[in-house]
Amino acid sequence: MADNEKIKVTIDGIPVEVVPGTTILNAARQIGGDIVPPAMCYYSKLEGSGGKCRTCLVKVSKGSDKDPRPMPKLVASCRTTVMDGMEVQNITSADVLEARKGVVEFLLINHPLDCPVCDQAGECHLQDLGYEHGLATTRYEFERRTFERIDIGDKIQLHMNRCILCYRCVFVADQITNKRVHGILGRGDAAEISTYIEKAIDNDFSGNVIDVCPVGALTDKTFRFKNRVWFTKPVEAHRDCPTCSGKVTLWYKGNDVLRVTARKDVYGEVEDFICNTCRFDKKQTSDWVIEGPRHVAHTSVIAANHYETLQPLPVINENPKLQEANKQQFERSVRL
């Protein structure tokens, strides 16, 4: 097979052609929609991620055209590469849905049901997964493990009770910073994300561990308990930053920027990692070039704010007078 020759795989009856080496999960993402398996630990931007949470399990009913035998067990779609002629079942398989229900039950064994006070509520992947595949009750009879909340740096708080050990924050610290000081300590039910003797995480990109966390285990201390995400208005903006791309999402309440995050794609993955200066220190509209309201899927609770009715603004150029005019126009448009 030539290097540029594509192979055909069928997922839930929908065929798609992909390049060799593509995983089942990424093949499904090329199709899109409901047939894309959920993923709590896989992150396309982070090398080595995936294979830990098991939420993306699928059934391979046909291995390939050369060997049509089905795979004997469900496989993790984020770690399994496709073969020519492979047939995969995701939401069309009762076995997959039952297994996913069990995986969610395991993830929620120790996870506290504190969504009403958690800052991640409204944009939590585990919350979505629980609604789609979770059980109404729990069969777990033992005490949940509990940890004290700790500060790992002056801007980040770790609430280990909520952690599902997806390792994303460890991978992001390994791959975009030059000094990782946190990781997994202990084993089994004693395993936890922590720093050595609570050493502070202090580098220019440390805030990205907040963005990659799929639950509310790592939170922004500057935003904690300030507002609910569905009461805010996300707006795309950028600045000329010497450290990172400078492309962010500003979360407004009235005229105030409550927080700054990296931009995320449809799967909740960061498009470009941003530095701590953009994230924590630039919270004035005058610091940014406003591009317009951020598009959010209508299925998201954030869309209840109807902020997309605002008129998108043109990109502000370097002319100070035009910058001030655009700023005033924008502040009038976001005023509640």
Note the pLDDT tens digit of each residue in 275-322.
999 999 999 999 999 998 888 877 788 877 655 544 444 444 455 555
pLDDT of residue 336: 38
Q: How far is CA 187 from the centre of its chain?
A: 25
| Same-domain pairing of 88 and 175 | no
What pLDDT, on the 0 to 100 scale, is given for residue 333? 46
Q: Does one domain contain both 245 and 213?
A: no
Q: What percent of the chain has pLDDT over 70?
A: 87
The answer to whether residue 27 scores a pLDDT higher than 50 is yes
Does the structure show a pLDDT above 80 at 213?
yes
Q: Are residues 191 and 248 in the same domain?
A: no
pLDDT of amino acid 328: 54
Q: Identify whether 1 is part of a domain.
A: no
At 290 the pLDDT is 92
Q: Say whether both 176 and 207 belong to one domain.
A: yes
Q: Which pTM does this prediction carry?
A: 0.74
Across all residues in the chain, what is the average pLDDT? 84
Residue 2 belongs to a domain: no
Which distant-in-sequence residues (6+ apart) come within 8 Å of 291 by Cβ?
Answer: 235, 236, 237, 238, 312, 313, 315
Give pLDDT, residue 310.
45
**Domain of 298, in residue numbers:** 229-334
The predicted model gives 131-157 an average pLDDT of 83
The model's pLDDT over 90-115, given as tens digits with 9 standing for 90+, comes to: 999 999 999 999 999 988 888 888 88
In a domain, 216, yes or no: yes
Residue with tokens 């993790």: 76
Q: How confident is the model at residue 178 (pLDDT cuts 50, 70, 90)?
A: confident
- 57-87 per-position pLDDT tens digit: 999 999 999 999 999 999 999 999 999 999 9
Cα 280 to Cα 124, 175, 252, 259, 299: the distances in Å are 21, 21, 14, 8, 29
Can you name the residues that pair with 158 across neighbouring β-strands?
150, 218
Does any domain span residue 175? yes
Do 261 and 316 lie in a common domain?
Answer: yes
With H, G, I as helix, E, B as strand and everything else as coil, classify residue 198: helix
Of 196-205, 223-232, 237-246, the poorest mean pLDDT is in 196-205
Q: Is the confidence at residue 19, as pLDDT, over 50?
A: yes
Between helix 94-107 and helix 125-133 the angle, nearest 10°, is 130
Q: What is the CB-side half-sphere exposure of residue 28 using CA atoms within 13 A? A: 27
Please give the tally of structural domains in the chain.
Answer: 3
> 116 and 99: one domain?
no
**Which one of 186, 220, 254 terminates a domain?**
220
Domain with 165 in it: what CATH number? 3.30.70.20
92 within a domain of the structure (yes/no)? yes
Beta bridge partners of 22: none
Q: Is the pLDDT of residue 259 over 60?
A: yes
- Tell me the residue ranges of DSSP E strands in 173-316: 182-185, 192-195, 218-220, 233-238, 247-253, 256-262, 289-293
- CA-CA distance, 7 to 86, in Å (whole number)? 9
Q: Look at residue 153 in the predicted model and tell me its pLDDT.
A: 77
